[in-house]
Chain A
Amino acid sequence: SAVISQKPSRDICQRGTSLTIQCQVDSQVTMMFWYRQQPGQSLTLIATANQGSEATYESGFVIDKFPISRPNLTFSTLTVSNMSPEDSSIYLCSVDRVPTSTDTQYFGPGTRLTVL
Chain B
Amino acid sequence: GQNIDQPTEMTATEGAIVQINCTYQTSGFNGLFWYQQHAGEAPTFLSYNVLDGLEEKGRFSSFLSRSKGYSYLLLKELQMKDSASYLCAVRDQAGTALIFGKGTTLSVSS
Interface residues of A (CB under 8 A from B): 30-31, 33, 35, 41-45, 48, 92, 94, 96, 99-100, 102, 104-110
Residues of A within 8 A of B96 (CB): 48, 99
Interface residues of B (CB under 8 A from A): 31, 33, 41-45, 48, 50, 87, 89, 94-103
Cross-interface CB contact of A100 among B33, B42, B94, B97, cutoff 8 Å: B94
Residues of A within 8 A of B97 (CB): 31, 33, 35, 45, 48, 94, 96, 105
**Measured between C-beta atoms, what is the minimum distance from A82 to chain B in Å?**
25
Residues of B within 8 A of A96 (CB): 95, 97
Residues of A within 8 A of B42 (CB): 92, 107-110
Residues of A within 8 A of B100 (CB): 42-44
Given contacts A33-B97, A94-B97, contact A42 B102 (CB under 8 A): yes
Q: How far is the CA of A99 from the CA of B81 in the complex (A)?
A: 31
Q: How far is the CA of A48 from the CA of B99 in the complex (A)?
A: 12
**Measured between C-beta atoms, what is the minimum distance from B91 to chain A in Å?**
8
